Amino acid sequence: MTCRLCGREIDEGAYCPRHGVAYTNLEEGYQKWRHALGLSWVQYLERLDKVAGTGKLVKEIIADILG
Ligand SMILES: [Zn+2]
């Protein structure tokens, strides 16, 4: 199978290692912030997508999840 974002060959899961790391970082960030900000997963993603410092890989993941 291939990564659904970049088409790289992968053994399992939905994402390649690079996008997988970005996804894990997103999830860990959410665990940290959801109590402080009181945001749902989707609200968190939408907010992060607007932040200038958010990386390209992370934005690709966000677009995939929200899309
Ligand atoms: Zn990928």
Give the pLDDT of residue 35. 86
Cα 19 from Cα 61, distance rounded (Å): 7
Q: From the CA of 33, how far away is ligand 1's center (Å)?
A: 25
Poorest-confidence range of 13-22, 31-40, 49-58? 31-40
In terms of Cβ atoms closer than 10 Å to its own Cβ (0-12, 13-18, 19+), residue 32 is exposed
Say if 40 falls within a structural domain.
yes
Residue 4 lies in a domain: no
Q: Kindly give the distance from the C-alpha atom of residue 27 to the centroid of ligand 1, in angstroms, as a whole number.
A: 17
User: Does residue 1 sit within a domain?
Assistant: no
Residue at 41 is within a domain: yes
Measured in whole angstroms, the distance separating CA 36 from the mean position of its chain's CA atoms is 19
Is 34 part of a structural domain of the chain?
yes
Query: By C-alpha distance, which of 8, 56, 58 is closest to 30?
Result: 58
pTM attached to this predicted model: 0.84
Q: Does a structural domain hold residue 7?
A: no
> The domain containing residue 31 runs over which residues?
19-66
Number of folded domains in the chain? 1
Ligand 1 centre distance from Cα of residue 36 (Å): 30
Mean pLDDT confidence for 11-16: 93
The letter for the amino acid at 33 is: W
> How far away, in angstroms, is 24 Cα from ligand 1 center?
13
